Amino acid sequence: MTFLLFAVFSAAAGQVILKHGMTLVTGSAKASNSSLIVKAITSPWVLLGLVVFAISAAAWLTTLSRVPLSIAYPFNALGYLAILTASAALLNERTNLWTWVGTSFVATGLLIVVCTKPT
Mean pLDDT, residues 41-64 taken together: 97
Domain count along the chain: 1
Q: How far is the C-alpha of 65 from the C-alpha of 85, rounded, in Å?
A: 29
Q: How far is the C-alpha of 90 from the C-alpha of 73, rounded, in Å?
A: 26
Mean pLDDT, residues 75-96 taken together: 93
Mean pLDDT, residues 53-58 taken together: 97
pLDDT tens per residue, range 21-35: 999 999 999 999 999
DSSP letter assigned to residue 90: T
Q: Is 46 exposed, middle or buried (0-12, 13-18, 19+ CB in 10 A)?
A: buried
pLDDT at residue 119 tops 70 = no
pLDDT at residue 118 tops 80 = no
Going from the C-alpha of 102 to that of each of 57, 81, 91, 114, the distances in angstroms are 26, 10, 20, 19
Q: What is the CA radius of gyration of the chain?
A: 17
pLDDT reported for residue 112: 87
User: What is the span of the domain harbouring residue 72?
Assistant: 2-115
* % of residues, the chain, pLDDT over 70: 97
pLDDT tens per residue, range 33-43: 999 999 999 99
pLDDT reported for residue 109: 87
